[in-house]
Chains A and B, each alone.
Chain A
């Protein structure tokens, strides 16, 4: 790589210009599946960011040692290992979150965001850039999932981070807790996000 990467831009692109959820629309499965509350979204985001960061680091370190014909299986093994580590650690130390996220933890393996960054970025750039990229993309993913989770929780359960601000048996838009609500909320937030980000840049 002859050109040097502006690290600040490299970091920020994951949050705004190339936000994995709102702009690139990657990793939709966990995005729609687990964001029924802000806390779940945050937990999923952090778990994904950890895997993304670690796989970016490892892929960037060993990129020259992997023959290109077998690079995808090699990346998947690396990603799957970190996902399994996350799964075991969560089950052991944060069983509450482990139960909430359920099947979506092992499914981080096939989150195209992570393989996408390994293939599209880490395998072509040095370790420092890959760390920054992983942090930026991961943070963008966390922000997106938390925002979506928060929106759905506010509308659907009348609470935010489990803190209830309506009466116990008040009627809320239960639709937003259910799967269709995920699509609706995601669509509106995406529109809003792109409107604001294109205006400012």
Chain B
């Protein structure tokens, strides 16, 4: 067996230095390889969500994203306008809330020009598996479709609204409704300015 390096100061410095340098370079190399696919995957997921929640469109909402400042969110709110043959067909808005059972819930809500909800996609959530995660289920999301929040109360039935909460996940359902409400408020606030983007 080879003899172990002695515990001299210079030996320690050299060995740690060498290890960190090699580690740093190999991480840089792997990062170089993966940074592309990671970016691509993120955009792809966004485009898929947009296709899910918006009516048919022929522009590129990802490139035309509008960042509007909002009193409801920490950062600015992302608004994705959709056009078909230069006609405004709707917008997707990222709604978020910190009031989920385990914090942040991020959803994408698609609106038609009159403010009705076209569809909703869940982007990020950390809810309880088997309970809160059921907000992704068709049964829950279907309640929101084709509804206009100006006439449809987004709160859960327990709070006097019209949405049936998920069994065992009232907090999640409340937060979800809040995020939808936030997206709707932003849509109404920015509706006219989005329409003027292309004409």
Contact = CB atoms under 8 A, between A and B. Distances in A.
Interface of A: 1, 36-37, 62-70, 73-74, 77-78, 80-81, 84-85, 88-89, 91-93, 95, 102, 156-157, 172, 174, 177-178
B74 interface: no
Interface residues on B, range: 20 to 34
B15 A67 contact: yes
Given A69-B7, A85-B26, A177 B130 contact: yes
Contacts of A64: 1-5
Contacts of A78: 19, 23
A85 B27 contact: yes
Nearest to B40: A92
B4 A178 contact: no
A8 B56 CA distance: 61
Contacts of A84: 27, 30
A31 to B, nearest CB: 16
Given A85-B26, A85-B30, A172-B130, A65 B38 contact: no
Interface of B: 1-8, 11-12, 15-16, 19-20, 23, 26-27, 30-31, 33-38, 41, 45, 126, 128-131, 168
Nearest to A66: B15
12 contacts: A36-B129, A62-B19, A65-B5, A65-B15, A67-B7, A69-B7, A77-B23, A88-B34, A89-B34, A91-B34, A91-B41, A177-B128
In the complex, the 6 A-B pairs of residues with the closest C-beta atoms, listed nearest first: A92-B34, A92-B37, A81-B23, A177-B130, A64-B2, A88-B34
Given A81-B26, A92-B34, A74 B4 contact: no
